[in-house]
């Protein structure tokens, strides 16, 4: 139901193919891509491919034509299109006009069978889908730029369409996700890894080659790993000559995944989406939270220092705290901001580690959670300071504990108050006593 209305039958489309297809592309689609995508996505790709011969230059085909060709509802066609986009077989461009919107579907060449197994993510996914025997049998057997006139590219990424494991229902909460943040959600900040390697005197260029960077990013998305877990996997897989062992790295990532999700299996499925509302920061606090959620700690330090480059010493301290305490990047940003404000813009390592260990035990995940927690802790501390007993004479009303008052009262002896006397009355009484005494005499 969630795909209904995304495209309309009357909306048109053009099909483009800029690359030459490999000779055995059909074998790749059937044996390698189809287990991952399903039959509808593969048939849609083949239909669009042969549709190019029939389309006219001026008049686009309508999506109603696709419905007749495939004999499936339009929402299922849209879902199959997303799968093709996510796996890298299709790019989609949307062009808006006064009458109706239309789309340009640019088909991407699938990998030839021998090249398919060079892609780490696709290889791992196929392995988890087919199992050991069938995967090894297949492996053994087979052993352009965006043009502005197309319009705005709206192609979804792999992580927007698929998830590699099913999260627990108890852990799914509706969240407000900024639309602009979707593309950056799963990107890894390689500056942290570079800093980690430099501290260990490991040559960065030998480890972070272009192929290894791609592999690291893919494994991070595939196994849902945090940055510090990726660092652990890299260190585990480094050989003595400082070359990253690809198989060891994959194994380490998979082991970390199993340790967090003991009952989950790697399986390509449609991504579970909670209802999402457009998030527009309105207050200064919301704007600050948005920034802390999206930027890296390195960028935060540079922003707070008016664009100056973050010092190596500060980066080393932050990297050590993040690695040892396992704090997510947004929470680490709030921690850095909080410590700087509390210590006159000085990044104290001892203070940072003390608070980080506390925050780590509270299992904070987002910048908003960290900010709320920090406010409560600060208010609790300030409240405790204002209610502290004060025994000094400050000219104001002192707050003294009851037990201290009772003990002082027992120690002090009661003092008799002087009796106030009326002088005139006292003289009359004396005179009366004298008269009474005289008459008796």
Res 426: pLDDT = 61
Q: Verify that 149 and 17 share a domain, yes or no.
A: yes
pLDDT in tens, 338-373: 888 888 788 888 888 888 888 888 878 888 888 888
Residue 126 counted as domain residue:
no
Q: What is the CATH number of the domain that holds 97?
A: 1.10.10
Is the same domain home to 309 and 341?
yes
Half-sphere exposure for 146 (CA within 13 Å, toward CB): 12
Residues 56 and 188 in one domain: no
Does the pLDDT value for residue 376 go beyond 90? no
Flag whether 302 is in a domain. yes
If asked whether residues 251 and 360 sit together in one domain, one would say: no
Which one of 67-76, 139-148, 173-182 scores highest in mean pLDDT? 67-76
CA distance 192 to 215: 16
Which conformational region is residue 88 in: left (phi greater than 0), alpha (psi within -120 to 50 degrees), or beta? left
**pLDDT > 90: percent of the chain:** 12
3-state secondary structure of 93: strand
- Asked if residue 55 is part of any domain, the answer here is yes
For 286-327, the pLDDT digits (tens) are 777 888 887 777 778 777 776 677 777 787 788 778 767 777
Same domain, 236 and 323: no
The domain boundary residue, chosen from 329, 344, 378: 378
What's the pLDDT score for residue 42?
Answer: 94
Residue 59 forms part of a structural domain: yes
Q: Do 195 and 304 have their domain in common? A: no
- 318 inside domain: yes
pLDDT bucket at 84, cuts 50 / 70 / 90 = very high
- Lookup: tokens for 378: 């600060």
Q: How far apart are CA 19 and CA 110, in angstroms?
A: 10
CA–CA dist 268, 286 (Å, integer): 35
Using CA atoms, how far apart are residues 383 and 202, in angstroms rounded to an integer? 49
- Let me know: does 242 contact 200? Beta carbons within 8 Å: no
One domain, residues 312 and 363: yes
The answer on pLDDT for 162 being more than 80 is no
Last residue of a domain, one of 331, 348, 378: 378
Range with top average pLDDT, 27-41, 57-71, 145-159, 279-293 = 27-41
Q: Does 335 lie in the same domain as 265?
A: no
The more confidently predicted of residues 52 and 98 is 52
| 99, 203: one domain | no
Residues 24 and 148 in one domain: yes
Tally of domains within the chain: 3
Q: Which residue has the tokens 């396992």?
A: 326
Tell me: the pLDDT tens digits for 95-110?
887 777 889 999 999 9
Q: Which pLDDT value is given to residue 176?
A: 36
d(CA 131, CA 135): 6
Report yes or no on 303 lying in a domain. Answer: yes
Domain that holds residue 363: 293-378
Is residue 197 over pLDDT 70? Answer: yes
Looking at the structure, do residues 232 and 191 belong to the same domain, yes or no? Answer: yes
Rounded to a whole number of angstroms, the CA Rg of the chain reads 37
Retrieve residue 433's tokens.
């006593």
Judge whether residue 179 has pLDDT over 50: no
- 175 in a domain, yes or no? no
Residues 325, 372: one domain? yes
pLDDT of 110: 93
CB 43 within 8 A of CB 132: no
334 to 177, 180, 329, 382, 441: CA distances (angstroms): 18, 21, 9, 20, 102
Question: Is 223 within the bounds of a domain?
Answer: yes
Asked if 267 and 141 count as a contact pair (C-beta separation under 8 A), the reply is: no
Q: Of 320, 351, 378, which residue constitutes the final position of a domain? A: 378
């Amino acid at each position: 139901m969630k795909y209904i209305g995304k495209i309309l039958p009357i909306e048109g489309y053009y099909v483009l193919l800029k690359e030459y297809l490999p000779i055995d592309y059909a074998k790749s689609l059937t044996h390698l891509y189809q287990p991952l995508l399903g039959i509808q996505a593969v048939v849609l790709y083949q239909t669009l491919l042969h549709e190019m011969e029939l389309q006219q230059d001026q008049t686009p085909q309508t999506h109603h034509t696709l419905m007749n060709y495939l004999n499936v509802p339009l929402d299922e066609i849209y879902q199959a299109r997303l799968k093709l986009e996510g796996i890298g077989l299709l790019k989609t461009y949307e062009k808006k006009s006064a009458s109706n919107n239309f789309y340009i579907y640019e088909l991407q060449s699938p990998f030839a069978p021998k090249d398919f197994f060079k892609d780490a993510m696709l290889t791992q996914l196929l392995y988890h889908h087919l199992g050991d025997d069938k995967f090894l049998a297949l492996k053994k057997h087979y052993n352009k730029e965006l043009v502005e006139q197309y319009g705005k590219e709206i192609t979804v990424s792999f992580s927007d369409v698929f998830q590699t494991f099913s999260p627990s229902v108890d852990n799914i909460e509706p969240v407000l996700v900024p639309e602009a943040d979707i593309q950056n959600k799963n990107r890894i900040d390689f500056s942290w890894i570079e800093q980690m390697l430099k501290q260990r005197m490991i040559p960065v260029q030998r480890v972070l080659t272009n192929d290894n960077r791609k592999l690291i990013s893919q494994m991070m998305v595939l196994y849902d790993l945090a940055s510090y877990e990726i660092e652990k996997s890299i260190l585990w897989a480094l050989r003595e000559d400082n070359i990253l062992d690809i198989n060891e790295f994959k194994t380490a990532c998979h082991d970390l995944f199993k340790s967090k999700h003991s009952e989950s299996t790697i399986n390509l499925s449609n991504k579970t989406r909670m209802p999402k509302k457009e998030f527009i920061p309105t207050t200064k606090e919301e704007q600050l939270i948005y920034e802390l959620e999206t930027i890296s700690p390195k960028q935060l330090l540079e922003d707070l220092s008016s664009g100056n480059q973050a010092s190596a010493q500060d980066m080393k301290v932050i990297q050590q705290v993040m690695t040892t305490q396992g704090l997510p990047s947004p929470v680490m940003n709030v921690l850095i901001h909080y410590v700087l404000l509390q210590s006159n813009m000085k990044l104290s390592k001892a203070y940072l580690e003390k608070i980080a260990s506390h925050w780590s035990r509270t299992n904070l995940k987002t910048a908003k959670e960290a900010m709320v927690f920090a406010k409560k802790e600060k208010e609790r501390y300030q409240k405790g300071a204002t209610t502290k007993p004060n025994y000094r004479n400050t000219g104001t009303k002192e707050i003294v504990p009851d037990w201290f008052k009772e003990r002082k009262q027992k120690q002090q002896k009661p003092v008799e108050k002087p009796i106030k006397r009326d002088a005139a009355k006292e003289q009359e009484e004396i005179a009366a006593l004298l008269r009474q005494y005289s008459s008796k005499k």
